[in-house]
Amino acid sequence: MDETITVPKVRKRHALATRLWHWVNLVAIVILFMSGLNISNAHRRLYWGDWGFDRADAWLFVPNFPGWATIPNTYSLAAARDWHVVFSLVFAFGLAAFMIASLVNGHFCRDLRTRLADYRPAHVWADIREHLRLNFDHAGAKFNFLQKVAYAKVIFILLPLMIVTGMAISPGMNAALPWLADLLGGRQSARSIHFLCAWALAIFMVGHVLLVLLSGPLKQMRDMITGGRDDEAA
Amino acid sequence: MKRRNLLAMLGAAFVAGCSKIGETAWFGALVDGAEGWHRGLHRGLGFGRITMAPEFDRSEVSPFFRGNGNVEVDSDEYRAHLAAGFADWRFTVGGLVDRPLSLSLAQLKALPQRTQVTRHDCVEGWSAIAEWTGPQLSSVLAQAGVRPEARYVVFRCADSFRQGPYYESCDMDDALHPQTVLAHALNGAALPELNGAPLRLRIERQLGYKQAKYLTGIELVASFADIGLGKGGYWEDHVGYQWYAGI
C-alpha cells in the first residue's frame, strides 16, 4: 500500500492530527502534572495494594512540591482538583482522537512500527552511537530506532497508563469498572503507578526537549506548527 | 544564566496565570461542565446496570479506621448523648416528604440492615477498608414518602467547623442506591466518636467528604441553593470542593 503513494511533495512531515494533538497534549500534560503535584502535597505517602493511610504502610515518602512547581501556586487541593478534572478529559479524549487519526492516516504503521531485526544489539548500539555523535540523520525513515521505541512507549504504554490509573483512583469510575483497579493491584497501587508514570513522562519530556534543542530547534518547532515538508532531509 | 532567568520567569508567569484563571467565573463553569462529563461517564459505563462500589472480604478490613475532619464533637449536648449511649438520639426526616419522621437508634436498627465491607477513599489520597452496618437510606425514605418534587437529600450533622455546622447533600440516584447506608456499626461494634457516632452516612461511590458523620437528620429539597452558601456541602461552600465527589 505504501509503495502506491508516490506523491511525497503533497505530504507534510507531520500530519495535521499529529500537530494539533501535540500542542493540545502539551498544555494538558503540563497542567495535569503541575496540578498533580499540588494534589500530591495533600497526602505525601504512597502505598501498594487496596488501602493505606499510615506511615507504616507507605513504600515512599514524597517530598513537598514548592508553589512555583504547582497549579495553583499555593496549596489548594480543591483548585488543583478542578484543573485535573477539566484537563483529564482533554488529555484522555485527545489521545483517543490522535490514536484513531494516526491509525487512519497511517502514521503509526509508517513511522512507529519497528521490526524484530531492529532490536539486534549491533543495530541498537549503532543507533546509540549516532545519537551520542548528535547525528540525527535517519536514512529515509522519519524516525530512527530509538525515537520509534521512545515514542511508541510513551504513546502506547505511558499515556494510556496515566489514564487507566487515573480512572481506577476515581470512586465513581471504580464502581462502573471495578476490574480496572483489580488489574492494577488495587486503588493505592493504581495511585502509586499514576505517580510513577507522571514522573516517567516528565523525564521523557526533558529528553524530548533536549533532543529538539540539539537537532535544529527552530526547524523542528516550525515543522510541528506548519507541518513541514516530508521530502526534506530530517 | 540569562536563559535560565527567562525560563524561570516564563514558568512563574504560567503558574500565576493559571492561578488567576482558576478564580474566574468562566473557569468555574468549565469545571462544573467537566464534573458533569465525569459523572456521565461513571454512570454511562455501567451500561444500564446500577454501578456498585467494590465490596471486600471481612479478612481485608484495615487494622484501624482513620478518623479525619472532626474526630470529636465539641458540644455539651453531644457529650451528654455520648454518655447516655445515644438512648435519646433522634434522627429526623423532614422537608419534601409526606410523613416527617423522628427515629430513635432502636427504630433504625429495627429496619432491615445491610452490612458491607467497602473501601473509604479520602479526597487527600489515602484509603481504608471497613465493614459498615445500618439500614439503607432508601428504606427510611420509603417510610417517609418522598414527594415527587424532591431532588436532593441534605444531611445534617452535630459537628461544626469554624464557619458553621457540617452538612452534605446527594441526588436521589445516590440516595436510593443500595449501598447508601446510615451506618451505626463499624467492624461489628458500635460506631465510635472518632468515626461519627452514633450514625454516619456511607455513600460508597463518592469520596470521604460525602460520608457525613454525627448525623442528626435529613431534609429533602428541590434545590440546595438556599442552604448554607448554596454549594451543597460544608467543604463545597468554604473550600470549593466539587459537589460530585465521585471523581
How far is A197 from chain B, CA to nearest CA, in Å? 17
Give DSSP secondary structure letters for A14-51: S-HHHHHHHHHHHHHHHHHHHHHHHHHTTS-EE-SSS-
Average pLDDT of the residues in A22-40: 98
Strand partners of residue B113: B135
Q: How far apart are the first and last CA of chain A?
A: 23
How far is B195 from chain A, CA to nearest CA, in Å? 15
Q: What is the DSSP letter of B71?
A: S
Nearest CA in chain A to B17: A72
Which secondary structure element, helix H or strand E, spans residue B232, and what is its range?
none
Write the pLDDT tens digit of every residue in A101-124. 999 999 998 889 888 888 999 989
| A212 touches A219 (CB < 8 A) | no
Residue A52, by phi and psi: left (phi above 0), alpha (psi -120 to 50) or beta? left
Rounded Cα–Cα distance for residues A190 and A178 (Å): 12
Q: How confident is the model at residue A10 (pLDDT cuts 50, 70, 90)?
A: low
Note the pLDDT of residue B7: 76
Q: What is the DSSP letter of B80?
A: H
Q: Does residue A4 surpass a pLDDT of 60?
A: no
Comparing A189 with B15, the larger pLDDT belongs to: A189
Interface membership of A226 toward B (CB under 8 Å) = no
Handedness of CA A32, A38, A39, A41 (dihedral sign): positive
Of all residues in chain A, what percent are helix, strand and coil, respectively (each to 5)?
70, 5, 30
How far is B37 from chain A, CA to nearest CA, in Å? 8
| B209 touches B161 (CB < 8 A) | no
Interface membership of B126 toward A (CB under 8 Å) = yes
Q: Does residue B210 surpass a pLDDT of 60?
A: yes
Rounded Cα–Cα distance for residues B94 and B99 (Å): 8
Amino acid B223 reads: S
Q: Does residue A234 surpass a pLDDT of 50?
A: no
Which of A32, A173, A182, A191 to substitute to test the interface with B, most B CBs within 10 Å? A173
Q: Does residue A141 surpass a pLDDT of 80?
A: no
Interface membership of A56 toward B (CB under 8 Å) = no
| Percentage of chain A exceeding pLDDT 70 | 93
Of A79, A181, A191, the CB nearest to B125: A191
Q: How many CB atoms lie within 10 A of CB B195?
A: 21
Interface membership of B27 toward A (CB under 8 Å) = yes
A127 Cβ neighbours under 8 A, 6+ residues apart: A144, A145, A146
| Nearest CA-CA partner of A164 in B179, B245, B45 | B45
Interface membership of B21 toward A (CB under 8 Å) = no
As a residue count, chain B comes to: 247
Q: How confident is the model at residue A24 (pLDDT cuts 50, 70, 90)?
A: very high
Q: Do A86 and B127 touch (CB under 8 A)?
A: no
* Per-residue cell: B98: 409526606
Write the pLDDT tens digit of every residue in B37-65. 999 999 999 999 999 999 999 999 999 99
Average pLDDT of the residues in A192-213: 96
Average pLDDT of the residues in B110-133: 98
Q: How many CB atoms lie within 10 A of CB A7?
A: 7
Rounded Cα–Cα distance for residues A104 and A3 (Å): 17
Q: Does residue B8 surpass a pLDDT of 60?
A: yes
| B205 touches A171 (CB < 8 A) | yes
* Per-residue cell: B240: 470549593
Interface membership of B205 toward A (CB under 8 Å) = yes
Q: Does residue A2 surpass a pLDDT of 70?
A: no
Over chain B, what is the mean pLDDT? 96
Interface membership of B239 toward A (CB under 8 Å) = yes
Q: How confident is the model at residue A6 (pLDDT cuts 50, 70, 90)?
A: low
| B128 touches B195 (CB < 8 A) | no
| B127 touches A188 (CB < 8 A) | yes
Note the pLDDT of residue B5: 81
* Per-residue cell: B207: 469520596
| Percentage of chain B exceeding pLDDT 70 | 98
SS3 assignment for A104-126: HCCHHHHHHCCCHHHHCHHHHHH
Q: How confident is the model at residue A140 (pLDDT cuts 50, 70, 90)?
A: low
Q: How many CB atoms lie within 10 A of CB B106?
A: 10
Beta strand segments in chain B, E: 91-95, 101-103, 113-121, 127-135, 152-161, 164-171, 181-183, 185-186, 189-190, 200-202, 215-221
Among A99-103, A226-230, B165-169, the range scoring the smallest mean pLDDT is: A226-230
Q: How confident is the model at residue A1 (pLDDT cuts 50, 70, 90)?
A: very low
Q: Which letter, b or e, does each residue of A178-216 get, where b requires 16 or more Cβ atoms within 10 Å of its Cβ?
A: bebbbebebbbbbbbbbbebbebbeeeeeeeeebeeeee
The complex's ipTM works out to 0.93
Note the pLDDT of residue A139: 63
Rounded Cα–Cα distance for residues A118 and A146 (Å): 10
